[in-house]
Amino acid sequence: MDLKEKIIEVKSYLSQYEKLNQALSLIYWDMRTNMPSKAGESRSEVLEYLSGESFKMITSPKIGEFIKDLSQNKSEMNLQERRMLEELERNYNETKKIPKDRYVAFVGVCSNSELAWERAKKENDFEIFKPHLEKVVEFQKEFINYWGYKIDKYDTLLDKYELGLTTNKLDKIFSELKDGIIEILNNLKSSKKTIKRDFLFGNFDTKKQKDLSLLILEKIGFDLSAGRLDESIHPFTTNFGNKDVRLTTNYHEDEFTSALFSTIHEGGHGIYEQNISDNLENTGLQTGSSMAIHESQSRFYENILGRSKEFCSYLLPIAKKYFEDFKAVTLDEFYEAMNYVETSLIRTEADELTYGLHIIIRYEIEKELINGKITVDDLKGLWNKKYKEYLGVEPKNDSEGVLQDTHWSDGSFGYFPSYALGNLYGAQIFHKLLEEKPEVMDEVKNGNLTEITNWLKEKVHVHGAVYTPNELIENITGEDLNPKYFIDYLKNKYYKIYNIK
């Protein structure tokens, strides 16, 4: 059989695997958005069963043969085919190391743990979640033993989301980021500027917030005929192919920005997925380059665009149409309120500047937890201690503290750094965009983001996972990931807002 035929055979197999995983993702999406409360147990069983089938497919000897056959033809392969083989090999080898019954058990533990987290957050009680989280952490440690590790156990988890990332590399990046943030924060202390933002709090009818969210989504380039916006406790994005991309948000009647920026954030993820090339279907590459690159897009739309003066200038008149409270607000007031800097408790609602500290706290805690230096019992205390130390704030309850994020409930340890790296990637890409198209932000004032989205589509989105994150940032900007761009961006923006010379 020649290479072409073999590739067709592999893709045909992968297409079945892909369909099964689309089904799984949809069932999971439904669990988080729609499922009635009594169905948790039976839903977990469905997820376990299908995950087991998915496990069987990707660890099947057939995949081993595909890899062997394709590897013999590497020299004839084009880039996409080589990357397809690489990813297939990685997925096959990593998954095969885990015993199937343990994998399936983990899926069940996670789905119960997520529901327990939802209950715990609602009832403001970490104790409800704790026994579930303990199981999840034990599974993480067990899996790391299967996968193996060189220096730090946590490296194995980082690598899952960002190929080749290690604590060693990340410590340096985060140290530079932390120093930058602290420097800026210290400088802002000398500012006499007062920023009003009382008008962002009040009573904002959720139906109107929803209408506004949908309008803004379409405006930034999300295709609602190939996607949806729903509600869930913790906003997330999932997709089944590039023609059914689903975002969720979470409306708060008492304030204006939370749902809106969650929507724009998830919209950034969604636009990425929708724009990935059809040609990558059934290659395993019809997905983001890495989770940090994914977050670079969501954080880009949320902050660099969404909180820009140009976008505020477009948004304010619309906001005035929806909500009386903005009637007397000027553009400067609106823009400044959107970018008010304050050390605070909730990551997803943190300003752009202090956001990185929230991530660094989680990163430090996860490293210790995964390396067994602390246990789940220590989490709450350590969380509160670090928030006090880094941000000067203390949670009054579990929901605004250790329970605020969903990530640990489904075992996404190692994911949080992606958000901060996303900020760095995003700023570096934005710097390049402005170099190539210095006037590009002007049109944003009219709500026209087409040129920006098209540029991102061409540079980032269409390629899916054909390039690794390192290759992608090098291709676009001509250099490796460099925190300087983000720190410069922060200085530039916030010194201006706070009148720092």
Q: Does 19 engage in binding with its own copies (CB under 8 A)?
A: yes
Q: Which residue has the tokens 């989205």?
A: 453
Candidates 3, 27, 346, 374: give the one binding its own copies (CB under 8 A).
27
Candidates 224, 385, 437, 458: give the one binding its own copies (CB under 8 A).
224
Structural tokens at position 408? 């640990």
Q: Is 132 annotated as a binding residue?
A: no
Candidates 38, 68, 192, 373: give the one binding its own copies (CB under 8 A).
38
Q: Which residue has the tokens 């922060």?
A: 490
Q: How far is CA 99 from CA 103, 282, 317, in A?
A: 6, 25, 57
Q: Does 26 engage in binding with its own copies (CB under 8 A)?
A: yes
Q: Which stretch binds its own copies (CB under 8 A): 31-39, 319-327, 416-424, 463-471?
A: 31-39
Q: Give the count of beta carbons closer than 10 Å to the beta carbon of residue 258.
A: 20
Helix ranges (DSSP H) in 339-444:
355-370, 376-386, 417-436
Encoded one letter per residue, x for contact with its own copies by CB under 8 A and - for no contact, window 229-268 reads -----------xx-xx------------------------
Q: Is 265 annotated as a binding residue?
A: yes
Helix then strand then coil, in percent of the chain rounded to 5, is: 70, 5, 30
Q: Which of 266, 302, 336, 366 is catalytic?
A: 266
Structural tokens at position 70? 């394709």
Candidates 3, 105, 185, 226: give the one binding its own copies (CB under 8 A).
226
By CB under 8 A, what part of segment 306-345 binds its own copies? none
Is 368 assigned a catalytic role?
A: no
CB of 29 to its own copies, least distance (A): 9
Candidates 1, 4, 8, 49: give the one binding its own copies (CB under 8 A).
49
Closest CA relative to residue 453, chosen from 282, 176, 264 = 264
Q: Which residues of 74-112 are buried (b: 16+ CB within 10 A; e: fewer)?
A: eeebeebbebbbbbbbeebebbbebeeeebbbbbbbbbb
Q: Does 50 engage in binding with its own copies (CB under 8 A)?
A: yes
CB of 18 to its own copies, least distance (A): 9
CA distance 37 to 181: 42
46 versus 173: smaller Cβ distance to its own copies? 46
Q: Does 201 engage in binding with its own copies (CB under 8 A)?
A: no
Let me know: does 108 contact 41? Beta carbons within 8 Å. Answer: no
Q: Does 56 engage in binding with its own copies (CB under 8 A)?
A: no
Closest CA relative to residue 425, chosen from 162, 242, 80, 35 = 162
270 versus 414: smaller Cβ distance to its own copies? 270
Closest CA relative to residue 47, chosen from 64, 32, 62, 37 = 32
Closest CA relative to residue 110, chosen from 138, 147, 90, 91 = 138
Q: Is 471 annotated as a binding residue?
A: no
Q: Does 36 engage in binding with its own copies (CB under 8 A)?
A: yes
20 versus 374: smaller Cβ distance to its own copies? 20
Q: Does 39 engage in binding with its own copies (CB under 8 A)?
A: yes
**Which residues of the shown chain bind its own copies in the complex (CB under 8 A)?**
15-16, 19-20, 22-23, 26-27, 30, 34-39, 41-43, 45-46, 49-50, 53, 223-228, 240-241, 243-244
User: Which active-site residues does the annotation give?
Assistant: 266
